[in-house]
Copies of this chain bind each other. A is one copy, B any other.
Amino acid sequence: MTLQVFTTGGTIDKVYFDANSEFQVGDSAISEIFREANVSVTYHVESLMRKDSLDITDADRQLIVEAVRKSTAERILITHGTDTMPQTAAALKAITGKTIVLTGAMQPARLRFTDAIFNIGFAAAVIQTLLPGVYIAMNGQVFEAGKVRKNRQAGRFEAL
């Protein structure tokens, strides 16, 4: 089994740049997380874009869909900002025959306390165990694309 990981940015990959006193999307933390967990399945990581998900346009979303469609992998993990993760998941429903899982984090992976590492671990299992379809893996739960929203106030994902 080979896992294809596409990264698109979002909170999970935010790093702090002292030079401009702000957090911006940096190198993806996912390869480091996989190494730290000594993951022994084969995986490939590719960065598609580095965007806050509020800045992801329809064109960006189409680019993500095309990358997933063209990939020879049948199991694809996508890291993505949480704010528009449900929209991207909905767009990916056009693809059939692949298990596609989106995850992200409410707190950057590089914080001492973060949900990122748990979420990546969780999503890495979902992608290996579920049948083809599009899923969001957040808050220790699996949600089906199109039936999930981010409750911004509560800071978590909820089934619709």
Chain A residues near B (Cβ < 8 Å)? 11, 14, 16, 18-19, 21-23, 33-34, 36-41, 52, 54, 81-83, 106-108, 110-115, 117-126, 128-130, 137, 139-142, 152-153, 155-158
When C-beta atoms are compared, the residue in chain B nearest to A158 turns out to be B40
A75 CB, min distance to chain B CBs, angstroms: 12
Q: Are A19 and B152 in contact (CB under 8 A)?
A: yes
A121 to B152, CA, bound (A): 22
Partner of A40, one of B36, B123, B139: B139
Q: Are A112 and B112 in contact (CB under 8 A)?
A: yes
Interface residue SS majority, chain A: mixed
* Smallest beta-carbon distance A54→chain B, Å: 7
Q: How far is the CA of A129 from the CA of B139 in the complex (A)?
A: 15
Between-chain CB contacts (< 8 Å), 7 pairs: A16-B23, A21-B52, A37-B122, A38-B155, A110-B111, A121-B121, A125-B129
Please, which residue of chain B has its CB at the minimum distance from the CB of A52? B21
Partner of A142, one of B114, B129, B140: B129
The distance in angstroms between the C-alpha atoms of A91 and B23, with both chains bound, is 30
Residues of B within 8 A of A140 (CB): 34, 37-41, 121, 124-125
Q: How far is the CB of A11 from chain B (nearest CB, A)?
A: 6
Closest to A33 in B: B118
Q: Which residue of B lies closest to A29 (CB)?
A: B112
